């Protein structure tokens, strides 16, 4: 079940979804999706969230994470690569995957928008709007690379203590899952308090995603809006 909100003005033109309008929507617990040529605002009840203390990984995913490297952003000091789990024991050599953040937002959102995917809801208006939000510093991407090719990732919106996950994709085994593991680790380390994944799915349930009533989500959202953190 969900509440569908139609705003009293047209959102057909790409410029209608301004960064200011999007941020206002997220601050109030609603988000846009394109359906059948129209853009609607959604307010799910119940709402799916992923509490950090409930997050869990399968054994196979834990094994895969041993061979994941992260390229950290160090500003003017250059770049540094490290293993996600530097102390893990590595025996059999496997292809390494590389994780970056905010290095190819367009590539990630375009891959997520693949119209052949079931339930596709990202159109050019959404891409344009969230690209502007990315340029404003509020929409972020996580990329997973294999041999220099983008094979997975996710994107979402960071607003104070809230991170709202929007979509993910995978073109290699566990690539989107690996992006999610990195995202959760990053959010926890930086002090985020609420990870909103909008709708429950069988895929997300394996990680510990749970559903909460709208009223409880709104309470947690208000708390998150008082947390000053950055992605």
Q: Tens digits of per-residue pLDDT, 116-165?
A: 887 789 999 999 999 999 999 999 999 999 999 999 999 999 999 999 99
Q: What is the pLDDT of residues 166-179, one digit of tens each?
A: 999 999 999 999 99
Predicted confidence at residue 96, as pLDDT, reads: 85
CB atoms within 10 A of CB 69: 15
pLDDT higher at 24 or 72: 24
Contact at 8 Å (CB) between 224 and 161?
yes
- Angle formed at CA 181 by CA 179 and CA 186, multiple of 5 degrees: 95
Predicted confidence at residue 138, as pLDDT, reads: 97
Question: Phi and psi at residue 165, in whole multiples of 5°?
Answer: -75, 130
pTM: 0.89
Asked if residue 112 has pLDDT above 70, the reply is: yes
Contact at 8 Å (CB) between 78 and 191?
no
Asked if residue 81 has pLDDT above 50, the reply is: yes
Token pair 């394996």: residue: 206
Instruction: Sketch the domain layout of the chain as residue ranges.
Output: 2-224
Class of domain 2-224: alpha beta
Residues in the chain: 231
Asked if residue 9 has pLDDT above 70, the reply is: no
CB atoms within 10 A of CB 47: 25
Predicted confidence at residue 5, as pLDDT, reads: 47
CA distances to 18, 87, 93 from 90, rounded to whole Å, are: 47, 9, 7
Asked if residue 94 has pLDDT above 80, the reply is: no
Asked if residue 42 has pLDDT above 50, the reply is: yes
For residue 13, give the 3-state DSSP assignment: coil
For residue 33, give the 3-state DSSP assignment: strand
Q: What is the mean pLDDT of the chain?
A: 88
Which own/partner pairs from 215-221 qualify as long-range (CB within 8 Å, at least 24 positions apart)? 217/29, 217/46, 217/47, 217/49, 218/29, 220/49, 220/193, 220/194, 221/27, 221/29, 221/162, 221/194, 221/196
Preceding amide of 46 cis, omega within 30:
yes
The token duo for 109 is 């959102």
Question: What is the full DSSP assignment across 95-157?
Answer: --EEEEESS-HHHHHHHHT-TTSTT----HHHHHHHHHHHHTT-EEEEEEEETTEEEEEEEEE
- Calpha distance 153→28 (Å, rounded): 26
| Residue 2 bridge partners (DSSP) | 44
């Amino acid at each position: 079940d969900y509440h569908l909100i139609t705003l009293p003005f047209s959102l057909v033109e790409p410029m209608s979804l301004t960064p200011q309008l999007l941020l206002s929507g997220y601050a109030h617990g609603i988000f846009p999706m394109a359906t059948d040529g129209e853009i609607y605002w959604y307010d799910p009840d119940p709402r799916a969230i992923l509490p950090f203390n409930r997050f869990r990984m399968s054994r196979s995913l834990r094994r895969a994470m041993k061979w994941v490297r992260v390229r950290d952003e160090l500003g003017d000091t250059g770049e540094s690569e490290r293993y996600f789990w530097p102390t893990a024991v590595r025996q059999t050599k496997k292809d390494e995957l590389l994780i970056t953040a905010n290095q190819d937002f367009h590539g990630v959102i375009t891959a997520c928008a693949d119209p052949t995917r079931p339930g596709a809801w990202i159109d050019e208006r959404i891409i344009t709007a969230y690209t502007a939000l990315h340029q404003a510093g509020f929409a972020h991407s996580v990329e997973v690379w294999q041999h220099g090719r983008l094979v997975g990732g996710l994107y979402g919106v960071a607003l104070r203590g809230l991170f709202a996950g929007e979509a993910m994709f995978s073109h290699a085994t566990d690539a989107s899952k690996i992006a999610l593991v990195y995202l959760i680790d990053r959010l926890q380390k930086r002090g985020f308090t609420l990870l909103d994944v909008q709708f429950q799915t069988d895929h997300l349930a394996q990680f510990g995603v749970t559903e909460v009533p709208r009223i409880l989500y709104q309470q947690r959202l208000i708390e998150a809006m008082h947390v000053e953190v950055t992605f």
